[in-house]
A and B are shown apart, each in its own frame.
Chain A
Amino acid sequence: MIAVGVRSRRAVANTTLGGLLVTAGGYALCAWALAPKTTPYEVAYDWLNLSLAYSGPSQFQTFIAQVGIHLSHPTLLLVGGCLAIGVAVAVWSRAGARGEPAPARYYGLMTLLVFAAIGASVSTDLAELYTFWGLAGVSTYLLLTHLFADERSTRAARLALAVPAVADLALLAGIAILWSRYGVIRFDALVPVLNNTPGAGPKALTVASLLVFAGAAGRAGLFPLQGWVTGVAETPPGAQAAAQGLWTVIVIGLLYKMLPVLVSAGTLPVRAMAITCATSAVGVPLLGLAGRDARRVAACAGIGLTALALLALFRPASVALALTAACAVALVRSGLVLATAGLVTGMRTADLTEMGDGWNRMRSSALGLLLSVVALAGLAAGVGGGSLRPQWIAVYGAAIGLSALAAFRLYFSAAHGVLPRRRGFDPNRVRQVPGSMSAPVLFCFVLAAALAGAEFSARWLNFIDGRPHSIEPFAALAWLGAAAVGVLLAAVLYWRAPELGTRLTGVATTLWAGVLGLGALLGGRFLAAPSIRLAEEMEDTGLLRGESAVGDAIERAAGLARMPARVLIPLLAGLAVVVAALLAVFAPGVHS
């Protein structure tokens, strides 16, 4: 678009939407052709085909990286999720992003992000996946920071580059360890050699698995790297919705492709990953209760739900369920962000204590928000399974309840109660947002609901992974009970007794601010400040002192030339003897 000079807002919006719809049409054809088949379709072109060595282990003599497309039923699901999110955000942006100063840049970067997400989903090897992963990361950052003149937005967006960098490097480290041990990067070639390659033991596999998972966890926004998701609330909502939704799909795609590697590492690493997911599933929605920014609360609720979906991946025979749930979660997250953005725009505040009465004044936006939070709570219940140990039952119950509490806190605060009058703001002038901002939310809900329903279809699950499945509807009902508890609690705290809710939120905010402040203080005092001070010392004084010392030494050496001959000559003779001795010692033939 930029290359051909498409500039006007409507033209770029139409071009973007047109491109996505054409892609969706192609996707539909591929899905139709591939659906009855059980074998995946794959095509690949050599991007790099290098000869590295003429001898040594055969797997390290060449390096081949391909640009490939691997289409199977699971990847069709992932690609469909990417396209649906892309279309939803593009449609929403027609009205929601009409104030963006550079539409060509905005839509161009969004298209690039969707392209990268699809590329990562259909990749055939680790190099291709990491390339698209990095491309998605860069386009996410550029998209979030694209409001150049808005200091708050760009200040928030820099977190999107800095914080996930650790996760991306961890992923690269994991890939590097796998390559260095096995010499293969294709997914289908990696699986058969995991346990029968000499020199590659469980330790390397464990480290690689944990690093790969760390990369995925960081981009999914799991604790403690949730800051790049929750801290970018000031950035354009369309960008946030695209980032949160698409990264959920990319992450589940990575973990799905790497699952054989992860589980081959043994029980302990998988347990560690499951605990990380569980911690985020419980902790991040809890963090969402600390604070009053509606966008941040929505992000926290979404992260909790994503963590639950990832947790399902580590249960036996739940891969298809986890994939379906994660795609549904991605749609719900995008819809939730867009719905929240509509209400924030209409009420001109993101502070939940300053919002209210959305059901009467912005009915369709409030409805969209309600559907999103219902889908969120329902999905949370859907990913819980049966046959769990007691401690995991407690974890699931807490996570589902807290996710529902966080989500419905958002709804009750924004949709019900009184919309207070503020300075410069008249509640009677609140108007419903345009239909193109509400329709995408409903679109996301419908698709997510369909996928949530499909979780209970053995036929669907069998279609995804080709294995038989047994459905446990009663377990889902039990988990719905946990979600209902969260909803009820939210209704009590944030609708019927808002003062109590506000007080609890205040306490939680203070506590979390204290923890953050302490962490910043400790990190600054013991890590950042000493390191930066060391660099300062080195640059400003250390180097100068060292150079002065060398200069002084040279000057003193030059002073030797002014010494009288009777001192200098014996000194030089002695030096010559020493040098000759050293040369003699090091000459060939003395030490062999």
Chain B
Amino acid sequence: MRLALFLVAVQPGPTLVSPTPSPTPVNTFAANPFHVSFLLSTLIWLPVLAALIIAALPNPRGRNDRTIYLLAFWTNASLAFLALVAYNQAQLFSPSFQFEELIRWVPWLGISYHLGADGITIAMLLVGSLIGTVSVLASASIRERVREYFTLLLLLQASITGALCARDMFVFVLFWAAGLLPAALLLAGWGGPRRHEAAIRFLAYGAVGTAALLVALLLVYAATGGASFDMNVLANAALTPRVQLIAGLALVIAAATRLPLVPFQGWVRDALSEAPPGLAVMIAGIGMRLGGFMLLRLLISGLHDGSRLLAPLLGALAGITILYAALAAFRNDDVRKFGAYLAIIPGGLFALGLAGLTSISLLGAAFGLITGGLAAALAVGVTATIAERAQSRSLSVLAGLAPRMPKLAWLLVLAGLAVIGVPGMASFISEVFTFLGVFYTQPAAAFLAGLGMAAAVAVVAFTVQRVLFGRPRPDSPGASDASLAETWYLGLLVAALLWFGILPGGPKIGGQVTLFDEGIVNVLSNGSTDVASPYVPPAPPAPPTPSPSPSPSTSASPSASPGPSPSPSP
């Protein structure tokens, strides 16, 4: 906050606007117990503050490792609590962004420190803070340079949160790019044997994505007259279809490097398989989702004509990505890479939902950001833990692990089921919504994606059987089950998937009275409905009033068998 005030103070003619207060509480049982101002800034800068404290903390011979770990953990737990406050207080029927904060930063360029959250952002913040907490728990095994590790992890967390909350495109790109360096340093410093190569590739792809994002940003800025970088200005600007198409293409490239989508998926395999578990969970759970969030926020919300023109391309990329990830997972011999390939699939499903450009497919895509992140984080987390506990990554060596590590066996099965989207898991609902919406507008892409999902199911079935079941190999090293911290962090992810999967509309008494949770899909639809409104087709004209005639009785219940059926009368 002081930094923001300082930055304001050095600019000519600053305009300090107080943030809008948190919304008026609604009458929901156990809702809205707290009011918090500057909520979004707190979510962004609290981990930065904690990172600075950790960086400044002396740690002779690792004596304060535990303190540092606990500081990082409680910072993330506090963020999760604050995100829960925001989620709890979200106004579901508010047409505008909530928890807004606006400080003019560079007025002559039109840059503002503008933050805001709609339903989609609020849900992402909630899941992001959960992922952050989980990533700290997953980092319990870090023993070397603990101070540096958690400093970088918290900075990464802050950058992702900032990108989620940003309502100014310049600020968004700043936060987007700011996350690359901590992630690359974490990967290079604490990763596996091929960590340097993985970090370089991660940084290279990230740089390409950032460059593409900058091109889109500057093009739109110039096309709107260079007045402002605010996303509201973009949403209301009348850009030509050509400009929208070029900007949209650049945004797709930027998102494709992050989600990822074929052919920009090269960094994922190495990054997720070489990263320490905590970093892998953070990247898969929320870092990769940032690409999709950017597409939703900038392309779909702002460039409507461009979205329509690029929808077939997105659909094709989505289908190819899912199929490619399944095939690549099938021929792979490394359990961690198997998890990395599984983590690609939710990104493809998200892109498919965007390509549909219908209300329900966009809601499915938005929900897919949440569920895909949780499922991907679970997949990479459990495979990383199995590789550590079984002391081998090779699928040729791993076999018959289930009796020796029953908890991890169940978790791997659940991870596979979460990625393919079975009932009970939150990913099932997002997948159903996506397919319900996409078949209307992009049937070819939907069929291709369906084929990819079928291949993914086969891959999961075969790999799970290969790793977990059967007789263990005599030459395999000893295996042990998950530790308490590992069980907790993986269990939290499973619990979130099950909670959102079984109660997506929130717990209700008697189907009517809402308890403390409004339901994540209801919170998401607050944002997705507005996003989808430009794409809703007009209602068909009312049919002419027919002349009075006796109305036929219709069988309203399937209990009555149908009338004479045009069967081939065998």
A130–B508 alpha-carbon span in the complex (Å): 22
In the complex, which residues of chain A have a beta carbon less than 8 angstroms from the beta carbon of B556? 188, 191-192
Instruction: Confirm or deny: B69 has a beta carbon within 8 angstroms of a beta carbon on chain A.
Output: no
Nearest residue in A to B471 (C-beta to C-beta)?
A: A151
A531 to B567, Cβ gap below 8 A? no
| Partner of A154 from B423, B465, B522 at Cβ < 8 Å | B465
In the complex, which residues of chain A have a beta carbon less than 8 angstroms from the beta carbon of B327? 531-532, 534-535
Instruction: Confirm or deny: A95 has a beta carbon within 8 angstroms of a beta carbon on chain B.
Output: no
Shortest beta-carbon distance from A232 to chain B in Å:
12
B454 to A165, Cβ gap below 8 A? yes
In the complex, which residues of chain B have a beta carbon less than 8 angstroms from the beta carbon of A157? 465
A442–B281 alpha-carbon span in the complex (Å): 54
In the complex, which residues of chain B have a beta carbon less than 8 angstroms from the beta carbon of A266? 566
Shortest beta-carbon distance from A99 to chain B in Å:
16
Shortest beta-carbon distance from A179 to chain B in Å:
5
A45–B507 alpha-carbon span in the complex (Å): 12
A536 to B331, Cβ gap below 8 A? yes
Shortest beta-carbon distance from B517 to chain A in Å:
14
B567 to A267, Cβ gap below 8 A? yes
Of the candidate stretches B29-37, B47-55, B74-82, B455-463, the one touching chain A is B455-463
Of the candidate stretches B160-168, B184-192, B219-227, the one touching chain A is B219-227
Instruction: Confirm or deny: B27 has a beta carbon within 8 angstroms of a beta carbon on chain A.
Output: no
Known interface pairs A130-B432, A172-B432, A188-B558; A52-B360 also in contact (CB < 8 Å): yes
Nearest residue in B to A156 (C-beta to C-beta)?
A: B465
A158 to B465, Cβ gap below 8 A? yes
Known interface pairs A165-B457, A169-B453; A586-B242 also in contact (CB < 8 Å): yes
A532–B239 alpha-carbon span in the complex (Å): 43
Q: Mark B526-569, 1 if CB is under 8 A from A, else 0.
A: 00010011001111100100000000001111111110111111
A46 to B568, Cβ gap below 8 A? no
Nearest residue in A to B424 (C-beta to C-beta)?
A: A135
B223 to A587, Cβ gap below 8 A? yes
A314 to B457, Cβ gap below 8 A? no
Of the candidate stretches B57-65, B122-130, B301-309, B439-447, the one touching chain A is B439-447
In the complex, which residues of chain A have a beta carbon less than 8 angstroms from the beta carbon of B423? 130-132, 134-135, 138
Instruction: Confirm or deny: B350 has a beta carbon within 8 angstroms of a beta carbon on chain A.
Output: no
B569 to A134, Cβ gap below 8 A? no
A52 to B525, Cβ gap below 8 A? yes
Instruction: Confirm or deny: A395 has a beta carbon within 8 angstroms of a beta carbon on chain B.
Output: yes
A52 to B558, Cβ gap below 8 A? no
A13–B514 alpha-carbon span in the complex (Å): 37
A547 to B204, Cβ gap below 8 A? yes
Instruction: Confirm or deny: B13 has a beta carbon within 8 angstroms of a beta carbon on chain A.
Output: no
B560 to A586, Cβ gap below 8 A? no
| Partner of A176 from B446, B510, B522 at Cβ < 8 Å | B446
A319–B505 alpha-carbon span in the complex (Å): 37
Instruction: Confirm or deny: B330 has a beta carbon within 8 angstroms of a beta carbon on chain A.
Output: yes
Instruction: Confirm or deny: B504 has a beta carbon within 8 angstroms of a beta carbon on chain A.
Output: yes
B457 to A149, Cβ gap below 8 A? no
A311 to B558, Cβ gap below 8 A? no
In the complex, which residues of chain B have a beta carbon less than 8 angstroms from the beta carbon of A278? 570
Nearest residue in B to A387 (C-beta to C-beta)?
A: B569
Known interface pairs A46-B511, A166-B454, A319-B561; A149-B471 also in contact (CB < 8 Å): yes
Instruction: Confirm or deny: B402 has a beta carbon within 8 angstroms of a beta carbon on chain A.
Output: yes
Instruction: Confirm or deny: A256 has a beta carbon within 8 angstroms of a beta carbon on chain B.
Output: yes
A314–B446 alpha-carbon span in the complex (Å): 30
Q: Which of A521-537 contact B (CB under 8 A)?
A: 531-532, 534-536
- Between B420, B529, B543, B570, the greatest number of chain A beta carbons within 10 A of the residue's beta carbon is seen for B570
B330 to A532, Cβ gap below 8 A? yes
| Partner of A56 from B458, B536, B565 at Cβ < 8 Å | B536
In the complex, which residues of chain B have a beta carbon less than 8 angstroms from the beta carbon of A145? 465, 469
A588 to B522, Cβ gap below 8 A? no
Q: Which of A147-204 contact B (CB under 8 A)?
A: 148-151, 154-155, 157-159, 161-162, 165-166, 169, 172-173, 175-177, 179-181, 187-188, 191-192, 198-199
A394–B564 alpha-carbon span in the complex (Å): 25
B324 to A165, Cβ gap below 8 A? no
B522 to A57, Cβ gap below 8 A? no
A392 to B570, Cβ gap below 8 A? yes
Nearest residue in B to A551 (C-beta to C-beta)?
A: B204
In the complex, which residues of chain A have a beta carbon less than 8 angstroms from the beta carbon of B225? 588
B505 to A546, Cβ gap below 8 A? no
Instruction: Confirm or deny: B403 has a beta carbon within 8 angstroms of a beta carbon on chain A.
Output: yes
Nearest residue in B to A263 (C-beta to C-beta)?
A: B565
Known interface pairs A259-B562, A389-B570; A169-B454 also in contact (CB < 8 Å): yes
> Chain B at the A interface: mostly helix, strand, loop or mixed?
helix
In the complex, which residues of chain A have a beta carbon less than 8 angstroms from the beta carbon of B417? 138
Instruction: Confirm or deny: B438 has a beta carbon within 8 angstroms of a beta carbon on chain A.
Output: yes
A387–B562 alpha-carbon span in the complex (Å): 20
Instruction: Confirm or deny: B328 has a beta carbon within 8 angstroms of a beta carbon on chain A.
Output: yes
Instruction: Confirm or deny: A428 has a beta carbon within 8 angstroms of a beta carbon on chain B.
Output: no
A384–B273 alpha-carbon span in the complex (Å): 59
A543–B400 alpha-carbon span in the complex (Å): 34
A314 to B561, Cβ gap below 8 A? no
A35–B224 alpha-carbon span in the complex (Å): 70
A46 to B540, Cβ gap below 8 A? no
Shortest beta-carbon distance from A355 to chain B in Å:
28
| Partner of B558 from A50, A259, A396, A543 at Cβ < 8 Å | A259
Shortest beta-carbon distance from B540 to chain A in Å:
5
Interface residue total, chain B, C-beta cutoff 8 A? 95
Instruction: Confirm or deny: A75 has a beta carbon within 8 angstroms of a beta carbon on chain B.
Output: yes
A173–B448 alpha-carbon span in the complex (Å): 12
Nearest residue in A to B413 (C-beta to C-beta)?
A: A142
Known interface pairs A52-B363, A58-B539, A162-B461; A271-B568 also in contact (CB < 8 Å): yes
Shortest beta-carbon distance from B358 to chain A in Å:
8
Nearest residue in B to A47 (C-beta to C-beta)?
A: B505
A188 to B561, Cβ gap below 8 A? no
In the complex, which residues of chain A have a beta carbon less than 8 angstroms from the beta carbon of B363? 50, 52
A173 to B439, Cβ gap below 8 A? yes
Instruction: Confirm or deny: B470 has a beta carbon within 8 angstroms of a beta carbon on chain A.
Output: yes
A588 to B240, Cβ gap below 8 A? yes
Nearest residue in A to B207 (C-beta to C-beta)?
A: A554
Instruction: Confirm or deny: A539 has a beta carbon within 8 angstroms of a beta carbon on chain B.
Output: yes
A467 to B536, Cβ gap below 8 A? no
- Between A127, A148, A317, A466, the greatest number of chain B beta carbons within 10 A of the residue's beta carbon is seen for A148
B554 to A192, Cβ gap below 8 A? yes
B263 to A546, Cβ gap below 8 A? yes
| Partner of A188 from B359, B403, B420, B557 at Cβ < 8 Å | B557
Q: Which of B150-201 contact A (CB under 8 A)?
A: 201
Nearest residue in A to B417 (C-beta to C-beta)?
A: A138
A560–B508 alpha-carbon span in the complex (Å): 66
A387–B324 alpha-carbon span in the complex (Å): 52
Shortest beta-carbon distance from B437 to chain A in Å:
7
Instruction: Confirm or deny: B409 has a beta carbon within 8 angstroms of a beta carbon on chain A.
Output: yes
Known interface pairs A270-B565, A314-B565, A586-B223; A50-B465 also in contact (CB < 8 Å): no
A55 to B469, Cβ gap below 8 A? no
In the complex, which residues of chain A have a beta carbon less than 8 angstroms from the beta carbon of B566? 263, 266-267, 270
A155 to B561, Cβ gap below 8 A? no
Shortest beta-carbon distance from B359 to chain A in Å:
4
Instruction: Confirm or deny: B266 has a beta carbon within 8 angstroms of a beta carbon on chain A.
Output: yes
Q: Mark B417-442, 1 if CB is under 8 A from A, else 0.
A: 10010111000110011011111100
Write 5 A-B pairs (CB below 8 A) sorted by A numbering.
Answer: A52-B359, A53-B533, A60-B358, A158-B462, A260-B555
Q: Which 8 A-B pairs have the closest CB atoms?
A: A72-B559, A151-B470, A45-B511, A180-B440, A154-B469, A392-B570, A165-B457, A52-B359
- Chain A residues within CB distance 8 Å of chain B: 39-40, 45-58, 60-61, 63, 70, 72-75, 127, 130-132, 134-135, 137-138, 141-142, 145, 148-151, 154-155, 157-159, 161-162, 165-166, 169, 172-173, 175-177, 179-181, 187-188, 191-192, 198-199, 256-257, 259-260, 263, 266-267, 270-271, 274, 278, 311, 314-317, 319-320, 387-389, 392, 395-396, 465-467, 531-532, 534-536, 538-539, 543, 546-547, 550-551, 583, 586-588, 591-592
Known pairs A465-B560, A592-B240; list 5 more (Cβ under 8 Å).
Answer: A50-B521, A134-B422, A134-B428, A173-B439, A588-B239
